[in-house]
Structure 1
Amino acid sequence: MKTVIIGQGAIGSLLAGICQQQKMDYAVLPRGSVCQPVRLIRLDGRLLEFSPEPVSPAQLQRDELLLLPLKAFQIIPAVKQLRPFLTKQTLVLLNNGMGVMEQVQKLLPDSPLIAGISKKAAYKKATQVLETGTGTTELGWVFRPASHSAQATERQLKALLTPCLWHQDLQPALWQKLAINAVINPLTALNNIKNGELAQPEYQQQIRQLCAETAALMQRKNLSGWQNIDAVVESVINSTADNYSSMHQDIAHNRATEIDYINGYLVLQGQQAGLEMAAHENLWQRVKALATSQDK
C-alpha cells in the first residue's frame, strides 16, 4: 500500500522523512508540480536530506493511503481537488480544530475515512524542518470499509505514526485536543509568547474561564473528560513550555489561522446548546482582528 502525503508543510515533511527513513513506498502531492527538497533534523539530532517523489491526483491508482496533515481550512479545497480521482483510497485527516470531518463526510460519503490527533510537532523554515515534539497519535475510523484493507491500513499507520492508539469513539479525544488548542493557540498568538509563559499568574483567570466554558459545553453534550480539562491544559502548557504554538507561528509569519475551527467552532456549538461562550468569543474576534490588521 502506497502512502501519499498531501502537501509539504512542517508535519507533512516530517512524515515524508519518516517514510524515507523506513524505506516505505510513498509519494508527496505538492502544491505545484514539483516537490521541494527537504532537510530534516529529527529529535535525536539525526539529519536527513531528501527529495520526495511527486505525484498528481491524476496519477492515483486505487489503494493508496492518503494523509492530509493540513490546516483545517485547507482540507476541503484539497478534498475537492482529489475527489474526481478517488475510488477506494482511505483518507486520514490530521488537522487541528473541528468541523471539517463532517464536511468531508458529505463530500465523500462512501470513502474510507480516519480522523487523527497527532502530537508530532515540527517547525519549518524554507526547506529546513526541525522536529520539536513527539507523542502518541490517536486515531479513529469515521467510515470503516468492510474489506480486509482496513487491517492493512491500520498496520501501515502503526508503522508510520507509532506510537498510535486506536479509539472506537474518537470524539472525547478530539474535544480534549480542542479544549487545549482553544487556550494555548490564541493566547500565545495574541501575547507573542511561548506556551510555557501561560503558566504565569496573569493568565490564570482567563485560562480558568476558557476551560470552564469548554467543560460546560462538553458536559451538555455528554462527552467524557470535561471534569479534568483544567488539569489537562495545565499539563500541556508545562510539557510544551519551550514550544511556540502553531497559531503563534501563523500570526508571526502573516499566515491564515485555524481560529474559526477552534474557538469559533466552540462559540457556534455553544450557541446551538444555549450556552454563552464569552471568553472564547473574545479570543475568536481578537485573533481575527489581529490577522486582518496584518493583511493591511
Structure 2
Amino acid sequence: MPADIWHLIGAGSMGTLAASRLLAAGFDVRVISRQGRSLQRRLRWADGRQQGVTLPAAGDESIRRLLVAVKAGDTRLALQPLLPRLCSDAQILRLQNGMGSLDEEPVPASVRVLHLVTTDGAWRSAEDIHVVAENDTLIGDGGDIPPRWLADLLPHWPGLKWCQDIERAQWQKLAVNAVINPLTALHRCRNGELLDGAEREQKMAQLASEVDKLLSACYPDWPMDTLQRSRDIARQTAANTSSMLADVLAGRETELHFINGYLLRRAQRLGLALPAHQSLTCQL
C-alpha cells in the first residue's frame, strides 16, 4: 500500500477527479485551502455511478507530493506560501490549462515538475462533480524515467500513460484551446456554434494558421493540422461551454495569459507576428 501523502491545491472538478484516483490507488490526499477545512464531494458519472470523496484538511506538515490544479492565473498566489514547505526531493504534478503557469513563480531546481495533459471532462454543481468524459491522459517531465509512484496509480486512472515528449503534447492541446476557447468567450457561444460556415469559422482558420506557423518553426515535422483538430473538437463537444467562456460569464479572470498569451510570448522570442491572436487577445 503506498504511503506517500499527496497535497492538493485546487479542489475543483478536475482536481477532485484526480484526487479520487490517487485515493483509489491507496495514497493519502490532503487539501490545502484558504479556509483550512476538509472537503466532501460526490462524483457522478453519466452511466449513473457515484463516488463520495473526502479530502481532509492539510496541516503545516512538509510537502513531498503536490498536485496543482488551480486556475493557471492563481498559481503564484497559491504556490508561493508553500515553497518553504517543499521537501528537497519534492515532486509537483501540474494539472492546468495552458502553459507557463510556473514561469512567474519558479520552484527550486531540486523539485521535479511533472505535467498532466488530459482530455477528460468534468464540471461542478454545488458539491457534485459531473464526469462527462474519461479519455487519454499523458504525464511526463521531458525525461524517460517515470516516478516510482506512477506504477501504483496507473491501474486506477483510466487512459493514463507516460509521455517522454510531454511538451509537444502540451502544445497539441494548447493549439486547439487557443482557437476554441477565446472565440467562444468573445462570441459568448458554445463550442459547436463556432462551426457557422461564416465569420466564426473564418476566424478559426486564421487563428489555426498562425498556430501552425509558430509550431512549425518549433517542430519541423509539425503536421499543420490545428484547424482540422479544432473543428473536430468543436464538433465532438458541440454543447459544451469552454472554460474560458465559463470564466467570462462568472466574472473570473480567464486563462488567456497562459494560452494565447503564451503563444504570443513564444512567437515574440522567435521574431514571428501572430496578428489574429494579438487582435483577439486585445479584444478579450
Structure 2: runs of 5 or more not aligned: none
User: Residue in 1 aligned with 2:116?
Assistant: 116
1:25 to 28, 48, 52: 28
Kept in 1, the 8 Å contact 2:97–2:255? The answer is yes
Q: CA offsets, 1:206-244, max 9 Å, x none?
A: 111101101011111236434222222122112222211
User: Residue in 2 aligned with 1:72?
Assistant: 72
For residues 29 and 224 of structure 1, what CA distance do their matches in structure 2 show?
Answer: 42
Sequence identity of aligned pairs in percent? 29
In the superposition, relative to structure 1, how do residues 12 and 81 fare at CA in structure 2: closer, same or farther (>3 Å)?
same
Q: CA offsets, 1:182-206, max 9 Å, x none?
A: 1111111122221122222122211
Q: How does 1:45-124 map to 2 (within 5 A)?
A: 45-56=48-59, 58-60=60-62, 64-87=64-87, 88-103=89-104, 106-124=106-124
Q: How does 1:154-173 map to 2 (within 5 A)?
A: 154-173=150-169
User: Residue in 2 aligned with 1:283?
Assistant: 280
TM-score, normalization by structure 2: 0.89
Q: Secondary structure at the match of 1:37?
A: strand
Q: CA offsets, 1:98-137, max 9 Å, x none?
A: 1224445x33211011012122221113322211222111
2:135 matches 1:135: yes
In the superposition, relative to structure 1, how do residues 19 and 235 fare at CA in structure 2: closer, same or farther (>3 Å)?
same
Q: CA offsets, 1:230-260, max 9 Å, x none?
A: 2221221122222111111111111110001
User: Residue in 2 aligned with 1:42?
Assistant: 45
User: Residue in 2 aligned with 1:6?
Assistant: 9
For residues 107 and 224 of structure 1, what CA distance do their matches in structure 2 show?
Answer: 32
Structure 1: runs of 5 or more not aligned: 288-296
User: Residue in 1 aligned with 2:177?
Assistant: 181
In the superposition, relative to structure 1, how do residues 164 and 22 fare at CA in structure 2: closer, same or farther (>3 Å)?
closer
In the superposition, relative to structure 1, how do residues 211 and 222 fare at CA in structure 2: closer, same or farther (>3 Å)?
same
TM-score, normalization by structure 1: 0.86
| Greater shift in the superposed pair: 174-183 or 230-239 | 230-239
RMSD of equivalent CA atoms: 2.2
For residues 225 and 219 of structure 1, what CA distance do their matches in structure 2 show?
Answer: 5
Greater fraction of residues in strand: 2
Q: Secondary structure at the match of 2:123?
A: strand
Kept in 2, the 8 Å contact 1:114–1:140? The answer is yes
